[in-house]
Amino acid sequence: MKKHMFIILLVLVMVIGIIPGSAFAADTGSQPESYGEFTDGKKVISDMIEKNGMYAHPRIIMSEEKFEKLKTHIGDDSVTAVLLEKMRKEADRILDTSVCQYEIPDGIRLLETSKRIQRRVAALAMAYNIFGDEKYARRCYAELEAAGNFKDWNPYHFLDTAEMSTGFAIGYDWLYNWMNDEQRAFVRKSLIEKGLTQVMEDFEDKQRSRTYRWYQDFPGDNWKLVCTGSISMAALAVGDEADARDIASDVLTYAYKEAYSFVRRAYSEKDGTYSEGLGYWDYATYYLGLNSSALTSAAGTDYGLADFDGLRKSVDFIRYMSSNTSKSFSFGDDGDSRDTGWAVLLWLGDYFRSYDISAIRLGKIKDDSFNYLDLLWIDEDKTSGSAKDSPTDWGEEGASNASFRNTWDESGIVAALHAGENKYKYHGHYDLGSFYIESNGARFFTDLGNESYELPNRQYSYRIRAEGHNTIVINPSAELDQQEGAECLISRFSGGNEAFAVTDLTAAYEPSGAESVVRGLKMIKDKECVIIQDEISLDAPGEIYWFAHTKGQIEVADDGRSAVITVGSEKLWTGLLSEGGRFTAMNAEALPSSPVVPDQKDNSEYRKLAVHLTNTKEAAISVACIPLKNGETKPAWVPSVKALSGWTAQTAAGDVNGDGKFSIADAVLLQKWLLGVPDTRLADWKAGDLYADSRLDTFDLCFMRRRLVNEQ
């Protein structure tokens, strides 16, 4: 026994020596659903005073120490120095502008004005604290004074009040030591009357005109984190003042409990998927980051607010539902191919001590415009690692999405499949089964993005309906072409060289006359081939459309059995592997049977590749997509059709994490196994058997170390 333990320890030492230290940083267990040390807002304020003393500022995320640390980077060659120079330029630009005016251009929202004021206040107050020039403080206070004199902050649409409250919380806290008593009293009074008092009316559901009862709504949406995060910052900024302490305590109690609860229902514990899509993930999560960071800086802890495994996993949701160029595979009310290298990744990387997450954002900062959030969360001393060390396949049974790539390099091919639940109220579209393909940085099949929220009959518009996505339409009519509320999750998943995900879409199409609809997406990595395959059975002969949208040019072969999509200088060959059917190229516009919805967004920059089957009861549609090399007009190899039931897992010797190759990631998982850390990917221990004795043991790790050392 002692000899066996000695071998284990010896091998662990050898393996640890070849594995990056950051590889284990993200491993946090699932947290109990309790409020931790939180009892109510009175305790938070008491903790804040105990930590900082009375009237001690700045304390909202920033502190004197953090400002001093940022100053040390002025003029050096760091990314932080780049941000500081961007901040100086932004602050100087604002000096030459007029203060914002009360404007509600659409008759509903003050939102853009509130956001603009928040950004200005943050940049100017930060510039004053870093560079020490009072011109920034004076201009910052002028912005606060103008907005403080607004008749209100439009609580009718409470997001507007929330965003403004964030700006005032930052301004009050970061300029506190510059302002005189009269100025402090004015900013504080504005924040209490136009922010804290207004949110209490929402919390207590008092009679008032609202666009949306966000607090009473269940399960709710991104407003839950935006409104609670902003108003918590406001309460923390003024909570030790006599005229604010009682209402600030009440606000913190309501806001914390609502935010805590929403985090645990919004971020899937299964795979981290945020059901409103990637763009709203950013909005909700950066306000969660502001809330957590403000509580921690002011009171010394966030009381477990963000300590949730579903939130940690949501980083993978963003990372894997983006291409290798960090462009989103959008679904629901999101924009087409959004940049997903967001500032909030800096906070998440630090919170979960997984600094490869932070590295994603660091790589984007130099090319992006100034974002003050970067300076709140950047700490280059803690940033290391790379997402490129991560497995290339992501998904599991019961999850909402899956994605595959043959490499993390920009030259690679990436594909994703979207499943989940149709929830129109919470920014959903009828897009279950949508797929996305990008190769060598060129997006071949994509989503069209969001439609205007004010559009009458919006739910039936092209961009919302299934016909406006890369999925199936069955027996088209004026009715919804996927079932509202249908839940269709990943039913089978496998990584490896032939990685795939399968989802049963029957529930989405039953009202259209479907008995069974199953879609699979497979990537054959060594051939750079993606297969999208549908097996469909209708209750009576009917009509089936297969759609795939692109901004590229579509050239369909004369026989209709293949097509070439061209995006820039890149080309993708698509071929029908199944019998029957032909490709056609169509405009991205509604079918004749669809309802007429005036004033929809222009879709003329998109076209769609389509297959149309009529008088069909049973159908299999299998489409292969293969990038063409220079000079090729068709690929040298094309796969054969295999029924979805025949798609089986492919494993390589030593491939435990299921990415189709033997890598450091496998060594990480095997080390976890030896340390007693459970992982579902280690269920089949034979997958890691290199020694060929039908079990996973220390001898396999010895072989593993030799292979890794030789292959690096």
**Rounded mean pLDDT of 600-608?**
97
pLDDT tens per residue, range 549-589 = 999 999 999 999 999 999 999 999 999 999 999 999 999 99
Site of tokens 């919170």: 351
Q: Token digits for 663?
A: 């890598």
* Residue 138 near residue 91 (C-beta atoms within 8 A): no
CA angle 91, 95, 96 (to 5 degrees): 125
Is 222 a domain residue? Answer: yes
Is 320 a domain residue? Answer: no
Q: How many structural domains is the chain composed of?
A: 3
76 is in which domain, residue-wise? 31-307+341-384
pTM of the model: 0.86
- The reply to whether 380 and 399 lie within a common domain is no
Q: Give the end of a domain, one of 628, 650, 677.
A: 628
Bigger pLDDT: 543 or 39?
A: 543
CATH number at residue 446: 2.70.98.70
- The reply to whether 296 and 154 lie within a common domain is yes
Is 88 a domain residue? Answer: yes
pLDDT tens per residue, range 380-435 = 887 666 666 789 999 999 999 999 999 999 999 999 999 999 999 999 999 999 99
- The reply to whether 616 and 699 lie within a common domain is no
Residue 352, helix vs strand vs coil: coil
- The reply to whether 494 and 614 lie within a common domain is yes
pLDDT tens per residue, range 443-492 = 999 999 999 999 999 999 999 999 999 999 999 999 999 999 999 999 99
pLDDT reported for residue 698: 55
Q: Alpha carbon 479 to chain centroid distance?
A: 31
Is 24 a domain residue? Answer: no
Is 327 a domain residue? Answer: no
- The reply to whether 400 and 378 lie within a common domain is no
Is 278 a domain residue? Answer: yes
- The reply to whether 380 and 467 lie within a common domain is no
* Residue 439 near residue 528 (C-beta atoms within 8 A): yes
> Per-residue DSSP letters for 696-710?
--HHHHHHHHHHHHH
**Spatial distance between the Cα atoms of 72 and 42, rounded to a whole number of angstroms:** 37
**Spatial distance between the Cα atoms of 58 and 49, rounded to a whole number of angstroms:** 13
**Spatial distance between the Cα atoms of 710 and 712, rounded to a whole number of angstroms:** 6
Is 665 a domain residue? Answer: yes
Bigger pLDDT: 653 or 584?
A: 584
Q: What is the mean pLDDT of the chain?
A: 89
Q: Give the end of a domain, one of 363, 384, 405.
A: 384
pLDDT over 70 at 18, yes or no: no
Contacts of 68 (CB under 8 A, 6+ apart): none
- The reply to whether 467 and 548 lie within a common domain is yes
Is 231 a domain residue? Answer: yes
- The reply to whether 11 and 53 lie within a common domain is no
Site of tokens 């049973």: 618
> Using CB atoms within 10 A of its CB, is residue 102 exposed (0-12), middle (13-18) or buried (19+)?
middle
Local structure of residue 86 (DSSP, 8 states): H
Q: How far is CA 99 from CA 112, 144, 149, 165, 559, in A?
A: 14, 9, 12, 17, 63
CATH number at residue 157: 1.50.10.100
